[in-house]
Copies of this chain bind each other. A is one copy, B any other.
Amino acid sequence: MTDKIVAFVLYPGLTPLDLIGPLQVMSGLEAVEQVYGIQPRHHVVVVAEHLDAVPTDTPARVAATSTLDEFPEPDIVMVPGGGAPTLRQLVNPVLLDFLRQADRSAELVTSVCTGSLLLAGAGPLQGHRATTHWAYHRFLNRLGATYVPERWVEDGRYLTGAGVSAGIDTALHLAARLAGDEIARLVQLAIEYDPHPPHGGIDWTKVDRESFAGRVEGFAHQALDEHPEMLARVLGTADKAG
Q: Which residues of A contact B (CB under 8 A)?
A: 8, 10, 15-17, 19-21, 23-24, 27, 44-46, 53, 57-65, 113, 133-134, 151, 162-166, 168-169, 172-173, 176, 181, 184-185, 188-199, 201-202, 204, 207
Collect the chain B residues with CB atoms within 8 Å of residue A62's CB: 53, 60-63
- Given A164-B190, A188-B202; 18 other pairs, CB 8 A cutoff: A20-B20, A20-B58, A46-B60, A53-B62, A59-B65, A60-B63, A61-B63, A62-B63, A113-B192, A133-B192, A163-B191, A165-B195, A169-B195, A169-B197, A173-B198, A176-B198, A189-B207, A195-B201
Does the CB pair A202–B198 fall under 8 Å?
A: no
Does the CB pair B172–A192 fall under 8 Å?
A: no
Contacts A21-B17, A45-B59, A60-B46; A181 near B199 (Cβ below 8 A):
yes
Contacts A21-B17, A23-B60, A53-B61; A193 near B202 (Cβ below 8 A):
yes
Does the CB pair A202–B191 fall under 8 Å?
A: no
> Can you list 22 A-B contacts with CB-CB less than 8 angstroms, sorted by A residue number?
A16-B23, A17-B20, A17-B24, A17-B191, A20-B60, A44-B59, A46-B58, A46-B60, A53-B63, A61-B62, A61-B65, A162-B194, A165-B191, A165-B192, A165-B193, A166-B194, A169-B196, A169-B198, A172-B198, A188-B199, A193-B202, A194-B197
Of all chain B residues, the one with the shortest Cβ separation from A199 is B185
Complex CA distance for A59 and B151, rounded to whole angstroms = 26
Question: What distance in Å separates the Cβ of A201 from its nearest Cβ neighbour in chain B?
Answer: 5
Does the CB pair B24–A58 fall under 8 Å?
A: yes
